[in-house]
Amino acid sequence: MSHLFQNTLALLTTLGALALPLTGFPSSARAELLPRPSEIEALGDDESVYSEAREELPENLYVLYRIVERIARANNLDRHPWRVVMADDSLINAYATEVNLIIVHYGLLDQMAGDVSALACVVGHEMAHHTERHIAIRTSRSADWQEEYKRPDDRELQERLAELSRTHESDADAIGYTYSATAGFDATGCLRGLEILSRLPGTLRDSSTHPAVPHRIEAIEMLMIEQPADRLQDTGRSNLENSDPLTYEMIEDQNWLRINSERGGSFVEDWNAIFPDATIAPKPEEPEAEVDIDDVSESEVD
């Protein structure tokens, strides 16, 4: 369950081994990441996806939608829907679970308020757990190793699992940095996010799941030199210019949000695109119930 941001390890070897999709950077000088024309239009258009979302969604969820949507498009991660759920408690945490599902605790939003780049880095870290298939890999390795060691509490087994988890966390940090920087967020937000975590108990040393936060901060600082944010941003700007805003759906209640893939979120629309000669018509609107005046007056007689 890849509990995110919490604690430690061998970052340098991990970072050296990372295979990030970072090829093809233009060498042009840094330019500000301006909104693309369709974004500007969208913001000024009452029918647009962004303005509709602004109206419909609670502020924190709206910001999460814009962050996920922007990171997904800037990094070509929009082939499948993303899901965000806000957990209504004071924990300073976020984690990745299921498929493309990101849980963000309210405490984290509260502590990062005013720093959208720090939040974007956390979101990028969680998206990286999904894109790198960390949950599936951990489950599979864990099953293999448990067969090998016979006893689930075997010390060597536990250490291998811990090392795998720390490696995944380091990978997610590095990729989360590239995702958020590519999307145009301030890369130092990753450092500020980690500084917050370093105040939590148990985060200054390696744990069974996370590398020590000071090591994680050093790794990000090194990455900022090796992969400068402005170069990443150039790639992101090009991807943003060549894609359309992703739509969204609120599901079940006000805390569950789906950011649709580039395909949209409608089975019916997809059906109609595949079978133009046998389209599914829009659902007829229910006629409004007629008020029976006699019934009303009778029911009010007492």
Per CB under 5 A, residues contacting Zn ion are 2, 4, 169, 172
> In whole angstroms, how close is the CB of 208 to Zn ion at the nearest point?
13
**Closer residue to Zn ion in complex, CB, 42/102:** 102
> In whole angstroms, how close is the CB of 176 to Zn ion at the nearest point?
8
Q: What is the per-residue DSSP string for 217-286?
A: HHHHHHHHHHS-HHHHHHHHHHHHHTSPPP-EEE-SSTTEEEE-BTTBS-HHHHHHHH-TTSPPPPPPPP
> In whole angstroms, how close is the CB of 19 to Zn ion at the nearest point?
18
Residue nearest to Zn ion (CB): 4
Residue 16's identity, in one-letter code, is G
Cβ atoms of 210 and 161 within 8 Å: the answer is no
Q: How far apart are CA 190 and CA 177, in angstroms?
A: 7
**Closer residue to Zn ion in complex, CB, 2/167:** 2
> In whole angstroms, how close is the CB of 169 to Zn ion at the nearest point?
5
**Closer residue to Zn ion in complex, CB, 117/260:** 117
Which residue in this structure is represented by tokens 């390795």? 141
> In whole angstroms, how close is the CB of 168 to Zn ion at the nearest point?
7
Q: What is the per-residue DSSP string for 15-54?
A: HHH----------PPP---PPPHHHHHHHH-TTSHHHHHH
**Closer residue to Zn ion in complex, CB, 65/95:** 95
Count of other CB atoms within 10 angstroms of residue 202: 12
**Closer residue to Zn ion in complex, CB, 172/174:** 172
**Closer residue to Zn ion in complex, CB, 30/141:** 141
Query: SS3 for 82?
Result: strand
Handedness of CA 131, 135, 138, 139 (dihedral sign): negative
> In whole angstroms, how close is the CB of 5 to Zn ion at the nearest point?
6
Cβ atoms of 244 and 238 within 8 Å: the answer is no
Cβ atoms of 132 and 168 within 8 Å: the answer is yes
